[in-house]
Structure 1
Amino acid sequence: MNNKEIAAELSKLNNIRIVDDNPGYWVILLENFQLHIITDEKANRMRIICPIKDTSDLKKNQLKEAMQAHFHKALDTKYAIYDERIWSVYTHYLKELTAEMFLDAISQVFHGANNFGDSYSSSNLFFSAGDT
């Protein structure tokens, strides 16, 4: 994919609202989450990130549970800390990304953010029962 193709895919989605639309940087609203789509065509990279909550608002064991989810529930999306916030993050090579993968990435980032503090899953697929 490239920036033009990403913009075209975003324009097809009727369940989002685009609030910032610039080649290489888009902000979309999906339900009550703000997803940032950032690309660098020269570096061949794409990232979708979504802020979840401030680290100061974490409950006991939430960080540990999020790290355990990386092993079996978060799939292609991971949790990260940046600027004292927890984020749902997906990164991929841009040119190798397909439209189907891009749409799945949006879904996984959204579900990773939405399920933080509960199942911590980015989809309904799990690799194992995981830690308890």
Structure 2
Amino acid sequence: MLRTLALTLCLFPVTLTAQESEPAMTAPRMAEIVLALDAEAQITANGIEFTVDDVPVLIVMDVRADRMRAMVPIRAATEMTPEEMLRVMQANFDTALDARYAIAGDRLWGVFIHPLSPLEKDQLISGIAQTVNIANTYGTLFTGGAAQFGAGDSGALQRKLLEDLLEKGQDI
């Protein structure tokens, strides 16, 4: 079934017209999307502060550099053991997905970094969800949550956050 689908997609490429593609991501468009996720979000001069699943999220944008990053503070980096440092580096390779663990200002952060203008709504929402998930799973699964291998409840719980956020952003 998957081979047939893949072959079909290769043989019959879908072309998007300008009307079918999403508009370029801008600061006002991003604010509109984030406000759908958290109506109490605070718009700042160069970003947005909001909460997802009781986790504080900060989005910083540099429109001139065409970059954005969503960030979640996790803990003091100075208190991390070498084993914890190794584990976050391993997670960056295989389970953090589009989000990453990063250190700045002596803090460990969960971050999603992307060029601003080509960023699509669902990519933004997924990146935010993955960033919140790597913060929530620090010390246990160290995962962005969009993909899980094996059985158990963790994957379903983490996917639920993404699905909830995508549902909130559907009408944008």
| TM-score range relative to shorter protein | 0.7 to 0.9
Question: Which residue of 16, 29, 44 maps to 1:5?
Answer: 29
Question: Is the aligned partner of 1:104 residue 2:126?
Answer: yes
Displacement after TM superposition at 1:95 (Å): 0.6
Partner of 2:107: 85
Q: In the TM superposition, what is the alpha-carbon distance from 1:41 to its structure 2 partner?
A: 1.3
Aligned to 2:53: 31
In structure 2, stretches of 5+ residues that fail to align are 1-24, 150-172
Q: Tell me the secondary structure at the aligned position of residue 50 of structure 1.
A: strand
Tell which structure's C-alpha radius of gyration is larger.
2
TM-score (norm 2): 0.67
Deviations 1:58-102 (A, max 9, x none): 356111111001111011111111111100011101110001111
**Larger helix proportion of the pair:** 2
CA–CA distance in structure 1, aligned partners of residues 77 and 46 of structure 2 = 28
Structure 1 contact 45–92 (Cα < 8 Å) conserved: yes
Match of 2:95 in 1: 73
Relative to structure 1, the CA distance from residue 101 to residue 124 in structure 2 (aligned partners, 3 Å threshold; closer, same or farther) is closer
TM-score for both structures, normalised by structure 1: 0.86
**1:63 paired to 2:85:** yes
Gaps of 5+ in 1: 128-132
Q: Tell me the matched-pair count.
A: 126
| Structure 1 runs (4+) greater than 6 angstroms displaced | none
Query: Highest relative contact order (Cα 8 Å, sep 6+), 1 or 2?
Result: 1
Aligned CA RMSD, in angstroms, stands at 2.0
Aligned 8 A contact 1:7 1:23 in 2: no
1:33 deviates by 1.9
For 1:63 and 1:29, the matched residues in 2 are separated by: 26
Higher mean Cα deviation, 40-49 or 56-65?
A: 56-65
Q: Secondary structure at the match of 2:68?
A: strand
